[in-house]
Structure 1
Amino acid sequence: MSGALAGPVLQASVETAAVVSGVLVFLVSFLVGTVAIALGAQVLVDRDTGFRRAAVTALIGALVYALVGVFLGWIPLLGPVLMLLAWVAVINWQYPGGWGTALGIAFLAWLVAVLILYGLALLGIATDAFGIPGV
């Protein structure tokens, strides 16, 4: 009888490790995305916009980017452009300054995320940036 229980117990521990690993990857990715958006906004908006706003922007931006990708991402050339435009629209909605400022924040956030991820890769930590498309 103990042999029959060993399988499910082992399987549960493997799933737990996968969940813990997934949560850690999400947290690191979310932190990188939030920091990147916060730095981009702080440089271009020229006032303290808050880390919480950057976190909300990263979460909503990632969700909108993914949803547009599901419904329109399959359209050649236009789909990825619409996905990126939707992400920039979230930044425009969250921060003052209009579309030009939003595009600047998006570019700086992408650049900061690339630099942070490069540094993490040098340390042997491979991840992506949650809330920053294409990184």
Structure 2
Amino acid sequence: MLSFIGSVVGFIVSLLIGALGIYIGARVVTGTDDYGYALITAIVGSVIGGIVAVLLGWLFGWIVILVAWIWVINWRYPGGWGNAIGIGLIGWLSVVVITYVLAILDVLTFSSLGIPGV
């Protein structure tokens, strides 16, 4: 039971950090200032990424999951694929920095991430 609770807490923390990364990326690229919107985007991205991983991940690996994640960002934010890639890249870098700082402070481990491929 403790393992299950730890998994749920880990998922929630990863989701919140991933959403923060998307929020930062969207704020920089599109000027969108809505963490709730980023959180919904992260949830949808997580679900779509999971479905794609189960259906196609064995065939193409993480790249198809990353494309699905960028597709969700493109669907949720204005500006097309270029903006979606920019949001994703800034979001990914933000999550790496946030996780690194939290791991140094011994709050998280480096495996606590909310963006694919990290």
User: Any gaps of 5 or more consecutive residues in structure 2?
Assistant: none
Query: Residue deviations 1:43-82, cap 9 Å, x none?
Result: 000242x11110011011011111111111111xx34322
User: Any gaps of 5 or more consecutive residues in structure 1?
Assistant: 1-14
Whether 1:97 and 2:79 are equivalent positions in the alignment is yes
**CA separation of 1:20/1:74 partners in 2, compared to 1, >3 Å: closer, same or farther?**
closer
Separation in 1 of the partners of 2:4 and 2:32? 38
Separation in 1 of the partners of 2:12 and 2:63? 27
2:91 to 92, 102, 109: 109
Whether 1:36 and 2:18 are equivalent positions in the alignment is no
Separation in 2 of the partners of 1:31 and 1:79? 24
Query: Is the CA contact (8 Å cut-off) linking 2:66 and 2:117 kept in structure 1?
Result: no
Residue type of the alignment partner of 2:47: L
Q: 1:112: how far off?
A: 0.3
Whether 1:27 and 2:12 are equivalent positions in the alignment is yes
**CA separation of 1:42/1:81 partners in 2, compared to 1, >3 Å: closer, same or farther?**
same
2:52 to 44, 68, 73: 68
Show structure 1 runs of 4+ deviating over 3 A. none
Count of matched residue positions in the alignment of Structure 1 and Structure 2: 116
C-alpha root-mean-square deviation of aligned residues, in Å? Answer: 1.4
Residue type of the alignment partner of 1:64: I
**CA separation of 1:81/1:18 partners in 2, compared to 1, >3 Å: closer, same or farther?**
closer
Q: 1:129: how far off?
A: 2.1
**CA separation of 1:81/1:22 partners in 2, compared to 1, >3 Å: closer, same or farther?**
closer
Separation in 2 of the partners of 1:25 and 1:93? 27
Per the normalisation by structure 1, the TM-score is 0.79
User: Identity rate of aligned residues, in percent?
Assistant: 42
Separation in 2 of the partners of 1:116 and 1:47? 20
